[in-house]
Homo-oligomer: A and B are copies of this chain.
Amino acid sequence: MEHTRIKELLNASEFGQEVVVKGWVKTFRNNQFIAINDGSSIHNIQAVVDFENTDDSLLKRVTTGAAVRVKGQLIESLGKGQRVEVKVTELSILGDSDPEKFPLQPKKHSLEFLREIAHLRFRTNVFNAVFKVRNALSFAVHQFFNERDFVYMHTPIITGSDAEGAGEMFRVTTLDLNNIPRNEAGEIDYKEDFFGKSTNLTVSGQLEGELAAMALGNIYTFGPTFRAENSNTTRHLAEFWMIEPEMAFYELEDNMDLAESLLKYVIKYALENCQDEIEFLNNRLLEEEKNKPAAERSELNLIDKLNFCLSSDFERVTYTEAIEILKRSKPNQKKQFKYLIDEWGADLQSEHERFLVEKHFKKPVILVDYPAEIKSFYMKQNDVDEHGRKTVRAMDILFPGIGEMVGGSQREENLEKLLNRMQEVGVPQEELDWFLDTRRFGTAPHSGFGVGFERLVLFVTGMTNIRDVIPFPRTPNNAEF
């Protein structure tokens, strides 16, 4: 007899039928009530054992973490806290769990502890909820683009180019580190390496994405990207997933519209498809907040915050306007910012972004037209303004509690301007000659952006450490499991 998943049983409207349940024991109370979870729901099903007619030796093996199979009748529950339960006629143990050794006890564990046993934390309610939400957001991303006829491109992970300059890179090699081959000049001979040259892990699929967009029109990537930066923060990972759409014939305004639609679409999808999980995470946060002083508590709970994002138009502001707002702001005047804003050209820090979003506009903000100096070489150059300032058609989308969720721009489609800028910032033309071909043969206005997927998951789950929203986080000195 096949088993039925618990999610289905919990939603059953007919009672009386015989069912088989397989799952893991969460708790066992009074030698009678087994709470079983099979991962399909964050809710357990209660199995009621006829303990007087069950072997004691069998009952003793019903411990937290053990895998069990129960067969019985699905009935309406008379107890509190559940609508249905299984009146057990057959109980068997599929796999034991020694209660002395199983690290997950039926109590609250700290997230830090769970991070150390990342291979088992999937069995907790909080990580069940987090990874269900992550799954829903992933699917929503694909569905959003599919509905709009975008082509999903798998851009390469291993790259021979290190010119994008988005960050420090990891080397990929098959050279024997104990016996590095050298050429006649005594330099490392990468001709002996697997790809016949020096290769790294990608920091972005954008450049390859542009190639595809300048042929297929609208494309997106959704894949892993890497930074070999020694940042031990709650917002950085060495390996993380990015979504990077790239659209031919899009100007910056179209780009902003698309990014805002995408974010709203996926948040709405998660709210509609992960009600149980988001409600659980919402309650979890409310509990956490109780321990904080009143002043530090959030004004909105998680669900309200998500709904608020859906109903707000994101505020579109130029960098120059933002600098004026920040200059005049109380924390700047009172020197409460760590980095004071005193002139145009300053790079915005997290504290400034958060002030704009959380205090000033109180909603997601799209900042545009950044100084060219602090942005990448491939961004479209605006005309120099009346003060002689050079800006580019960049856009960053800032979210409450997160900071930068999206970074994007219209791309510089003019070959000459692009070459000049590359020379100014020292990007060697030879390395990107293939990329420049898009500007040589039928160039056209085009735009794109990148979404840090884990930051999106952070926002929707209300988690605060990015290591808690990816299954197996990779950070400096940590590549466990």
Interface residues of A (CB under 8 A from B): 3, 5, 7, 22, 24-25, 38-40, 65-67, 94-98, 101-102, 119-120, 122-123, 128, 131-132, 134-135, 138-139, 142, 146, 149, 151-161, 168, 170-175, 177-178, 180, 188, 194-197, 199, 201, 208, 211-218, 223-224, 226, 228, 230, 238-239, 241, 248-249, 413, 434-435, 437-445, 470-472, 474, 476-481
Contact = CB atoms under 8 A, between A and B. Distances in A.
Nearest to A228: B174
Contacts of A470: 154
Contact of A170 (B172, B444, B445, B481): B172
B479 A7 contact: no
5 nearest A-B pairs in the assembled complex, by CB-CB distance? A95-B443, A122-B215, A39-B217, A39-B216, A196-B477
Contact of A471 (B155, B172, B241): B155
Contact of A171 (B160, B177, B248): B177
Contact of A172 (B152, B171, B437): B171
Contacts of A94: 442-445
Contact of A95 (B95, B168, B442): B442
A472 B157 CA distance: 10
Contact of A472 (B39, B208, B213): B208
A94 to B, nearest CB: 4
A76 to B, nearest CB: 24
A177 to B, nearest CB: 5
A45 B201 CA distance: 40
Identical chains bound together, number? 2
Contacts of A170: 158, 172-174, 194
Contacts of A40: 149, 216-218
Given A175-B177, A194-B228, A239 B39 contact: no
A185 to B, nearest CB: 13
B472 A156 contact: yes
29 contacts: A22-B248, A39-B213, A39-B248, A40-B149, A40-B216, A65-B441, A66-B442, A94-B445, A95-B443, A97-B440, A97-B442, A101-B440, A102-B441, A119-B438, A131-B153, A134-B154, A135-B152, A135-B153, A154-B470, A156-B472, A157-B201, A160-B479, A171-B172, A173-B173, A177-B188, A194-B230, A195-B477, A196-B476, A211-B481
Nearest to A169: B174
A122 B171 contact: no
A156 B474 contact: yes
B474 A158 contact: yes
A15 to B, nearest CB: 23
Nearest to A160: B479
Contacts of A38: 217, 248-249
Nearest to A211: B119
B471 A153 contact: yes
A130 to B, nearest CB: 11
Nearest to A435: B119
Nearest to A186: B178
Given A120-B215, A223-B224, 13 more contacts: A39-B213, A94-B445, A95-B413, A154-B224, A154-B470, A157-B157, A157-B201, A157-B224, A158-B201, A170-B172, A171-B171, A195-B477, A196-B476
Contacts of A481: 156, 160-161, 208, 211, 434
Contacts of A102: 441
A465 B472 CA distance: 34
A217 B159 contact: no
Nearest to A124: B215
A119 B210 CA distance: 10
Contacts of A153: 131, 135, 471
A434 B67 CA distance: 18
B22 A249 contact: yes
Contacts of A441: 65-66, 95, 97-98, 101-102, 120
A132 B158 contact: no
